[in-house]
Amino acid sequence: MQDELPVSVVTLPTGTGKTLSYLPVIYDGQHRVTSSAISFSNTFSRHPDTPRPLVPIKPMVFKPRRMRAQVSAPATYRAMCRRVLAREQAGRHERRREHSSARRVRDAEARRAVLLRCGNRCENPGCFKADLPYRTSAGEPLLQVDHIDNHATGGRDYPSAMIALCPNCHSNKTYGADRLALTETFRKEAARLHDEFEQRP
């Protein structure tokens, strides 16, 4: 069976180019090598007629595996849109979930105090753009007052435990990979800003 399979010879330069490796290979018709033999010539550049002894290599066995085609991002996007449209046409976009929960009520004056203290700037000391050009519909800076510790689980609702953040820094504190370290940084910064602002005349 192997005698009927196609044979190719691959030449591989090695080292500084003085050594060439000849690799005759037999394919099984599915781009897989079934057997091969290899020969070396350490003096090929000087003696091209030097006999090259063959060193047999045992046949390599490959397990069959499925090949996955690479799908482009636009094609994936179109497929996702088709599935969403199918669910919409089936009426599944009108589904509702019932929520019944009780949340702690935030102190509105504590939030206003933090916005007063921040001076319209993000209070993250490492913010890349603390002076935000964005404004809310009311004309105020687009800042979000966040509790250092989650308010819903008992975090203190007091300005020294709260910090004004731009949307990017707020998202980083909530979802970022370094959110734990960032939380401790904000804890110290909020306490420092609180003490400093209280001492002003």
In degrees and rounded to multiples of 5, residue 141 shows phi and psi of -60, 145
**Which has the closest alpha carbon to 7: 15, 19, 28?**
28
| Buried/exposed 177-191: b ≥16 CB within 10 Å, e otherwise | eeeeebbebbeebbe
Matching residue, tokens 């916005």: 115
Rounded to 10°, the helix 108-118/179-198 angle is 80
Strand order in the sheet with 33-41: 7-14, 19-27, 33-41, 54-57
Residues 116-175: pLDDT tens digits?
999 999 999 999 888 878 888 888 889 999 999 998 888 889 999 999 999 999 999 999
Choice between 154 and 15, residue whose per-residue pLDDT is larger: 154
Mean pLDDT of 101-121: 89
Judge contact between 111 and 144, C-beta under 8 A: no
Residues 64-73: pLDDT tens digits?
666 666 778 8
Reading the block at residue 145, the tokens are 């007052």
**Which has the closest alpha carbon to 118: 154, 162, 148, 82?**
162
Task: Residue count of the chain, please give it.
Answer: 201
**What pLDDT does 185 receive?**
96
Judge contact between 116 and 140, C-beta under 8 A: no
Q: Which residues pair with 147 in a beta bridge?
A: 162
Residues 65-96: pLDDT tens digits?
666 667 788 888 888 889 888 888 888 877 78
**What pLDDT does 104 receive?**
84
pTM, to two decimals: 0.57
